[in-house]
Structure 1
Amino acid sequence: MKRSKRYQSARGFLETGKTYALPDAIELVKKTATTKFDGSVEVHIRLGIDPKQSDQQVRGTVVLPHPTGSKKVLAAFVTPDKAQEAKDAGADFVYDVQDIEKIAKGTEKIRFDIALALPTMMRELGKIAKILGQKGLMPNPKTETVTPNIGQAIKELRGGKVAYRVDANGNIHQVVGRASFEPNILKENIEAFLDAVKRARPEALKGRFILGATIHATMGPGVALDIAS
């Protein structure tokens, strides 16, 4: 894959094979942000798990100290008596049983990044579980996206709460801020996220859990973290 001159120039700030302490890594990420817009800062963690094993799944939620600046489109699957609560809390889409039928038939498109649901809606959501599951959008109690406190859950997600899960290759990816953020804000968010992932280590895992981690700005080079520090 051919990289842009801007990327190659940014890459020149990094030493091949070197890992960096978090404060230094953040400084480099800000220095190597190559976009003209205010790009996201992302953390990528490589785990020593087998994602095909059901007892080695890694997922969860964490409330970061600061909002990430990345606005997610939220959908809430609720009963009519909870619809206004979901709207007032900041849901972009509020769906009921009829909307689930439309999604199942393909007449209503998926236009959201995160889905939340009342426990009482899960039986109906089973009709579109495959559709949502293929996109990683199916509400799940483990990520606290199935909850009777729908308004509170939406407000937390609008704040600093993020949900994460391992992908098919054993990696976790998470936006933790914007390139314009102050270094201390990025540092606190990254530390909180790394701590949350460390606590999610599967009991069945015998070897190393976190094999490596990098951070980068949108379209910028990855800066390897010294996870031991």
Structure 2
Amino acid sequence: MAGKTYNAQKEKVPTQALDTAVAIAWLKEHGRSSFAETVELHIHLGINIEKSEQFVRGTVTLPGGAAKQKRVAVFTSDEKQQAAATKAGATIVGGEELVKQVLAEGKLAADITVATPDMMPKIAPAARVLGPQGLMPNPKTGTVSDDPAGVVAELAAGKLSFKMDQLGNLHEAVGKTDWDADKIEANVRAVVDAVAKARPAAAKGEFIKSITLATTMGPGVRVSV
């Protein structure tokens, strides 16, 4: 049944690229009515994926709010910072004992990690576990901070880190089908603008090759670049 529904939706997808607002309206109209699907933004970049200097990453705050509440783990040995991070919404907090737990279990039930600078050397042994999961705190994405609670609050308010995949694509959740269209559009524009500003100096030619919006279980709609 799911396949039939998808194929039926795909047959209705406009062949031409649409304005952002029109594309969002189409997704809301043709989405499943039984539940609110996540609206996903997919950006294909015109970069050489074999050149490390062309790797694209950055941060952006979604003005319309976060589409998905992420589980945040905080590494800090300071008890006051641990309490503040928990109050701000962190789901896991700890110091060296949390590092030992990660090493023992070989995983961490989180979507993003934040650490204080003094914890980074102590986290290093767990890099073999956190690295493959994309969970190593990184100063470039603002996840290494003397104010971990502040970072957690920013994440809850819609701040996210983006980075391209191995094929030169970016994928971000920008809303739900039951949201106001204006909120989704604001998030789309914020991400696209942030990606454009993150263009590597070494990138040549057209940087943003294509933009597609799709729902979790539906086909993609091309958006005018």
TM-score by length of 2: 0.94
Query: Could you tell me the TM-score, scaled by structure 1's length?
Result: 0.93
Counterpart position of 1:188: 186
- 1:88 matched to 2:87? The reply is yes
Q: Which amino acid is the alignment partner of residue 10 of structure 2? A: R
Structure 1 residue 27, shift from structure 2 partner: 0.9
For 1:12 and 1:113, the matched residues in 2 are separated by: 35
- 1:134 is paired with a residue of what secondary structure? coil
Q: Is the 8 A contact 2:72 2:112 kept in 1?
A: yes
- By how many angstroms is 1:35 displaced? 6.5
Distance apart, 1:203 and its partner CA: 0.5
Task: Please name the residue that 1:209 is paired with.
Answer: 207
1:125-163 Cα distance to aligned partner (Å, 9 max, x none): 111112111111111111111111111110010011111
For the 8 Å contact 1:19–1:226, the answer to whether it is kept is yes
Identity of aligned residues (%): 36
1: CA distance between counterparts of 2:49 and 2:121? 27
For 1:131-170, list aligned pairs within 5 A: 131-170=129-168
Whether contact under 8 Å (2:14, 2:221) holds in the other structure is: no
Cα shift at 1:225? 0.7
Q: 2:41 & 2:135 partners in 1: Cα distance?
A: 20
In 2, Cα distance between the equivalents of 1:15 and 1:64? 27
Structure 2 counterpart SS, 1:42: strand
State the distance in 2 between where 1:35 and 1:129 align: 42
Does 1:21 pair with 2:24?
Answer: no
Conserved? CA contact 1:42–1:174, under 8 Å = yes
Post-superposition offset of 1:95: 2.1
Does the CA-based 8 Å contact 1:32-1:217 persist in structure 2? no
Structure 1 residue 102: Cα displacement:
2.0
> What amino acid sits opposite 1:224 in the alignment?
R
Match of 2:124 in 1: 126
Distance 1:132 1:51 in 2: 23
Unaligned 5+ segments in structure 1 are none
Structure 2 alignment gaps of length 5 or more:
none
Equivalent position of 2:104 in the other structure: 105
Please say if residues 66 and 159 of structure 1, whose CA atoms lie closer than 8 Å, have aligned partners that are also in contact. Answer: no
SS, match of residue 204 in structure 2? coil
Give the secondary-structure state (helix, strand or coil) at the position aligned to 2:131.
helix
Question: Which one-letter code corresponds to 2:104 in the other structure?
Answer: K
Q: Following superposition, which runs of at least 4 residues in structure 1 exceed 3 angstroms of deviation? A: none
Structure 1 Cα separation of the partners of residues 18 and 2 of structure 2: 23
- 1:224 aligns to what SS in structure 2? strand
Please, what is the CA RMSD of the aligned residues? Answer: 1.6
Write the distance in 2 (CA, Å) between the matches of 1:25 and 1:12.
Answer: 15
Specify which of 36, 57, 60 is matched with residue 59 of structure 1: 57
CA contact (8 A) 1:7 1:34 kept: no
Cα deviation code 1:170-202 (max 9, x no counterpart): 110000111101111111111111100000000
CA contact (8 A) 1:41 1:175 kept: yes
Report the Cα distance in structure 1 between the residues aligned to 2:205 and 2:118, rounded to whole angstroms. 40
Q: Determine helix, strand or coil for the equivalent of 2:70.
A: coil
Kindly provide the amino acid, as one letter, of the partner of residue 103 in structure 1.
V
